[in-house]
Protein backbone atom coordinates (compact mmCIF):
# COMPACT_ATOMS: atom_id res chain seq x y z
CA UNK A 1 0.00 0.00 0.00
CA UNK A 2 2.81 2.36 0.95
CA UNK A 3 4.67 1.55 -2.28
CA UNK A 4 1.55 2.34 -4.32
CA UNK A 5 1.20 5.72 -2.59
CA UNK A 6 4.84 6.51 -3.34
CA UNK A 7 4.37 5.59 -7.02
CA UNK A 8 1.31 7.86 -7.20
CA UNK A 9 3.24 10.74 -5.63
CA UNK A 10 6.11 10.32 -8.07
CA UNK A 11 3.82 10.64 -11.11
CA UNK A 12 4.22 14.02 -12.81
CA UNK A 13 1.31 16.34 -12.08
CA UNK A 14 -1.10 16.86 -14.92
CA UNK A 15 -0.50 20.15 -16.68
CA UNK A 16 -3.14 22.78 -16.19
CA UNK A 17 -3.53 24.52 -19.49
CA UNK A 18 -3.86 28.29 -19.16
CA UNK A 19 -6.13 30.43 -21.27
CA UNK A 20 -5.16 30.82 -24.91
CA UNK A 21 -3.51 33.98 -26.17
CA UNK A 22 -6.66 34.76 -28.15
CA UNK A 23 -8.93 34.33 -25.12
CA UNK A 24 -6.64 36.47 -22.99
CA UNK A 25 -6.70 39.22 -25.63
CA UNK A 26 -10.50 39.03 -25.90
CA UNK A 27 -10.91 39.24 -22.13
CA UNK A 28 -8.58 42.22 -21.96
CA UNK A 29 -10.53 43.98 -24.70
CA UNK A 30 -13.81 43.32 -22.86
CA UNK A 31 -12.38 44.89 -19.71
CA UNK A 32 -11.02 47.90 -21.61
CA UNK A 33 -14.37 48.54 -23.33
CA UNK A 34 -16.28 48.07 -20.08
CA UNK A 35 -13.92 50.46 -18.28
CA UNK A 36 -14.36 53.12 -20.94
CA UNK A 37 -18.15 52.80 -20.68
CA UNK A 38 -17.96 53.02 -16.89
CA UNK A 39 -15.69 56.07 -16.92
CA UNK A 40 -17.77 57.93 -19.50
CA UNK A 41 -21.08 57.01 -17.85
CA UNK A 42 -20.19 57.67 -14.21
CA UNK A 43 -17.06 59.81 -14.43
CA UNK A 44 -13.66 58.69 -13.27
CA UNK A 45 -14.30 59.49 -9.59
CA UNK A 46 -17.45 57.36 -9.29
CA UNK A 47 -16.30 54.50 -11.51
CA UNK A 48 -15.43 51.31 -9.61
CA UNK A 49 -13.57 48.14 -10.43
CA UNK A 50 -16.68 46.20 -9.37
CA UNK A 51 -18.82 48.19 -11.81
CA UNK A 52 -16.31 47.62 -14.59
CA UNK A 53 -16.24 43.87 -13.92
CA UNK A 54 -20.05 43.76 -13.96
CA UNK A 55 -20.19 45.58 -17.30
CA UNK A 56 -17.65 43.14 -18.72
CA UNK A 57 -19.57 40.15 -17.33
CA UNK A 58 -16.56 39.01 -15.33
CA UNK A 59 -15.69 38.36 -11.71
CA UNK A 60 -13.99 41.32 -10.04
CA UNK A 61 -10.96 39.15 -9.36
CA UNK A 62 -10.54 38.52 -13.07
CA UNK A 63 -10.47 42.26 -13.74
CA UNK A 64 -7.77 42.71 -11.10
CA UNK A 65 -5.63 40.03 -12.73
CA UNK A 66 -5.45 42.17 -15.85
CA UNK A 67 -5.39 45.63 -14.28
CA UNK A 68 -4.55 46.21 -10.62
CA UNK A 69 -6.03 49.71 -10.37
CA UNK A 70 -8.32 52.21 -12.09
CA UNK A 71 -5.20 54.15 -13.04
CA UNK A 72 -3.80 51.13 -14.86
CA UNK A 73 -7.13 50.68 -16.60
CA UNK A 74 -7.17 54.27 -17.81
CA UNK A 75 -3.64 53.86 -19.15
CA UNK A 76 -4.79 50.72 -20.95
CA UNK A 77 -7.69 52.59 -22.51
CA UNK A 78 -5.38 55.34 -23.73
CA UNK A 79 -2.97 52.85 -25.27
CA UNK A 80 -5.54 50.58 -26.88
CA UNK A 81 -8.16 53.09 -28.03
CA UNK A 82 -6.07 56.17 -28.80
CA UNK A 83 -2.40 55.34 -29.28
CA UNK A 84 -2.56 52.20 -31.42
CA UNK A 85 -4.56 53.82 -34.28
CA UNK A 86 -2.28 56.87 -34.26
CA UNK A 87 0.84 54.69 -34.16
CA UNK A 88 -0.33 52.88 -37.27
CA UNK A 89 -0.68 56.22 -39.07
CA UNK A 90 2.66 57.54 -37.82
CA UNK A 91 4.51 54.40 -38.85
CA UNK A 92 3.88 54.88 -42.57
CA UNK A 93 6.76 56.76 -44.16
CA UNK A 94 6.02 59.63 -46.48
CA UNK A 95 6.35 58.74 -50.17
CA UNK A 96 9.16 60.25 -52.25
CA UNK A 97 6.71 62.14 -54.47
CA UNK A 98 4.08 62.75 -51.80
CA UNK A 99 3.56 66.23 -50.41
CA UNK A 100 3.34 66.69 -46.65
CA UNK A 101 -0.21 67.97 -47.08
CA UNK A 102 -1.23 64.81 -48.95
CA UNK A 103 0.54 62.69 -46.35
CA UNK A 104 -1.50 64.38 -43.60
CA UNK A 105 -4.68 63.77 -45.55
CA UNK A 106 -3.96 60.08 -46.11
CA UNK A 107 -2.68 59.22 -42.62
CA UNK A 108 -4.44 61.59 -40.20
CA UNK A 109 -7.81 62.32 -41.80
CA UNK A 110 -9.08 58.71 -41.47
CA UNK A 111 -8.46 58.85 -37.70
CA UNK A 112 -10.19 62.25 -37.50
CA UNK A 113 -13.29 60.88 -39.22
CA UNK A 114 -13.61 58.17 -36.57
CA UNK A 115 -12.63 60.20 -33.54
CA UNK A 116 -16.19 60.36 -32.16
CA UNK A 117 -17.32 56.88 -33.20
CA UNK A 118 -14.32 55.12 -31.66
CA UNK A 119 -14.54 57.00 -28.35
CA UNK A 120 -11.23 58.85 -28.70
CA UNK A 121 -12.89 62.25 -28.43
CA UNK A 122 -14.74 61.13 -25.29
CA UNK A 123 -11.48 60.05 -23.68
CA UNK A 124 -9.97 63.46 -24.43
CA UNK A 125 -13.02 65.15 -22.89
CA UNK A 126 -12.69 62.99 -19.78
CA UNK A 127 -9.14 64.28 -19.40
CA UNK A 128 -10.29 67.88 -19.91
CA UNK A 129 -13.09 67.65 -17.35
CA UNK A 130 -11.40 65.52 -14.67
CA UNK A 131 -7.68 66.00 -15.26
CA UNK A 132 -7.31 68.73 -12.64
CA UNK A 133 -8.91 66.63 -9.92
CA UNK A 134 -7.05 63.50 -11.04
CA UNK A 135 -3.68 64.71 -12.41
CA UNK A 136 -2.74 61.15 -13.33
CA UNK A 137 -5.27 61.27 -16.19
CA UNK A 138 -3.69 64.39 -17.66
CA UNK A 139 -0.16 63.06 -17.13
CA UNK A 140 -0.86 59.82 -18.96
CA UNK A 141 -2.67 61.55 -21.82
CA UNK A 142 0.00 64.22 -22.17
CA UNK A 143 2.92 61.77 -22.22
CA UNK A 144 1.29 59.03 -24.26
CA UNK A 145 -0.87 60.98 -26.72
CA UNK A 146 -0.56 64.77 -26.76
CA UNK A 147 3.22 65.30 -26.75
CA UNK A 148 4.01 62.51 -29.28
CA UNK A 149 1.27 63.82 -31.60
CA UNK A 150 2.53 67.41 -31.42
CA UNK A 151 6.08 66.18 -31.98
CA UNK A 152 4.90 64.26 -35.05
CA UNK A 153 3.23 67.39 -36.42
CA UNK A 154 6.39 69.38 -35.68
CA UNK A 155 8.49 66.99 -37.73
CA UNK A 156 6.02 67.22 -40.61
CA UNK A 157 6.01 71.03 -40.41
CA UNK A 158 9.82 71.15 -40.58
CA UNK A 159 9.83 68.80 -43.55
CA UNK A 160 7.25 70.92 -45.35
CA UNK A 161 9.28 74.07 -44.65
CA UNK A 162 12.43 72.48 -46.07
CA UNK A 163 10.52 71.51 -49.19
CA UNK A 164 8.97 74.95 -49.60
CA UNK A 165 5.45 73.56 -49.11
CA UNK A 166 4.28 75.89 -46.33
CA UNK A 167 2.14 78.98 -46.72
CA UNK A 168 2.51 79.80 -43.03
CA UNK A 169 6.01 79.43 -41.53
CA UNK A 170 4.54 79.99 -38.07
CA UNK A 171 3.60 76.31 -38.16
CA UNK A 172 7.25 75.31 -37.70
CA UNK A 173 7.38 76.96 -34.27
CA UNK A 174 3.77 76.18 -33.36
CA UNK A 175 2.64 72.83 -34.79
CA UNK A 176 -0.29 73.12 -32.37
CA UNK A 177 -1.91 75.21 -35.10
CA UNK A 178 -2.44 72.07 -37.17
CA UNK A 179 -3.92 70.25 -34.16
CA UNK A 180 -6.28 73.15 -33.32
CA UNK A 181 -9.25 71.90 -35.42
CA UNK A 182 -9.05 68.55 -33.64
CA UNK A 183 -9.39 70.13 -30.21
CA UNK A 184 -12.02 72.59 -31.42
CA UNK A 185 -14.14 69.65 -32.56
CA UNK A 186 -13.58 67.73 -29.32
CA UNK A 187 -14.62 70.66 -27.13
CA UNK A 188 -17.49 71.91 -29.31
CA UNK A 189 -19.10 68.52 -29.97
CA UNK A 190 -18.94 67.16 -26.45
CA UNK A 191 -18.90 70.11 -24.08
CA UNK A 192 -20.07 73.37 -25.62
CA UNK A 193 -22.68 72.58 -28.27
CA UNK A 194 -23.28 68.85 -28.67
CA UNK A 195 -26.68 69.50 -30.23
CA UNK A 196 -24.98 71.05 -33.27
CA UNK A 197 -22.06 68.82 -34.18
CA UNK A 198 -19.26 70.10 -36.38
CA UNK A 199 -17.19 67.89 -38.67
CA UNK A 200 -13.75 67.65 -37.06
CA UNK A 201 -12.23 65.97 -40.11
CA UNK A 202 -13.55 68.71 -42.40
CA UNK A 203 -12.05 71.37 -40.11
CA UNK A 204 -8.71 69.57 -40.16
CA UNK A 205 -8.74 69.24 -43.93
CA UNK A 206 -9.57 72.93 -44.31
CA UNK A 207 -6.69 73.81 -42.00
CA UNK A 208 -4.32 71.78 -44.15
CA UNK A 209 -5.44 73.81 -47.15
CA UNK A 210 -4.81 77.07 -45.27
CA UNK A 211 -1.34 76.12 -44.02
CA UNK A 212 0.18 74.21 -46.96
CA UNK A 213 0.69 75.22 -50.57
pTM: 0.85
In this prediction, residues 98-124 reach a mean pLDDT of 93
Own/partner contacts of 60-65, CB < 8 Å, gap of 24 or more, are 62/27, 63/31
pLDDT of residue 85 exceeding 80, the answer is: no
Same domain, 61 and 110: no
The mean of the pLDDT values for the chain is 89
Same domain, 52 and 134: no
pLDDT digits 0-9 by tens, 169-178: 999 999 999 9
Burial status of residue 125 (CB atoms within 10 A of its CB: 0-12, 13-18, 19 or more) = middle
pLDDT of residue 5 exceeding 50, the answer is: no
Q: What is the pLDDT of residue 10?
A: 41
Q: Residue 184 CB: number of other CB atoms within 10 A?
A: 16
pLDDT of residue 2 exceeding 70, the answer is: no
27 within 8 A of 58, measured Cβ to Cβ = yes
Q: What is the pLDDT of residue 3?
A: 45
Same domain, 129 and 172: yes
Residue 35, in any domain of the structure = yes
Same domain, 89 and 157: yes
Residue 11, in any domain of the structure = no
Same domain, 86 and 53: no
Q: Containing domain of residue 172, as a range?
A: 78-213
SS3 state of residue 212: strand
The count of domains in the chain is: 2
* CATH number of the domain where residue 31 is located: 1.10.10.60
Vertex 25, ends 20 and 28: CA angle to 5°? 125
Residue 1, in any domain of the structure = no
C-alpha span between 110 and 112 (Å, rounded): 5
In this prediction, residues 50-73 reach a mean pLDDT of 94
pLDDT digits 0-9 by tens, 160-212: 999 999 998 999 999 999 999 999 999 999 999 999 999 999 999 999 999 99
* CATH number of the domain where residue 209 is located: 1.10.357
Same domain, 61 and 83: no
Amino acid sequence: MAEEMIRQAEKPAARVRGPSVEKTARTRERIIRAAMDEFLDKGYADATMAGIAARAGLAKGTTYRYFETKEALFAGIVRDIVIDPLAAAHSRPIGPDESVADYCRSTLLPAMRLIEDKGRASIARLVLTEGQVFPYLADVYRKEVYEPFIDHLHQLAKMAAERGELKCMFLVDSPHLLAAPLWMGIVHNGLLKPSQQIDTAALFEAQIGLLFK
